[in-house]
Chains A and B, each alone.
Chain A
Amino acid sequence: EAGVTQFPSHSVIEKGQTVTLRCDPISGHDNLYWYRRVMGKEIKFLLHFVKESKQDESGMPNNRFLAERTGGTYSTLKVQPAELEDSGVYFCASSQELLSYNEQFFGPGTRLTVL
Chain B
Amino acid sequence: AQSVTQLGSHVSVSEGALVLLRCNYSSSVPPYLFWYVQYPNQGLQLLLKYTSAATLVKGINGFEAEFKKSETSFHLTKPSAHMSDAAEYFCAVTPRGTGKLIFGQGTTLQVKP
Contact = CB atoms under 8 A, between A and B. Distances in A.
B94 A100 contact: yes
B67 interface: no
A104 B42 CA distance: 14
A101 B44 contact: no
Contacts, number: 64
B82 interface: no
* B interface majority secondary structure: loop
B103 A101 contact: no
Contacts of B45: 106
Given A42-B103, A42-B106, A100 B95 contact: yes
Contact of B104 (A42, A59, A104, A107): A42
A74 interface: no
Given A91-B43, A107-B43, A108-B42, A31 B99 contact: yes
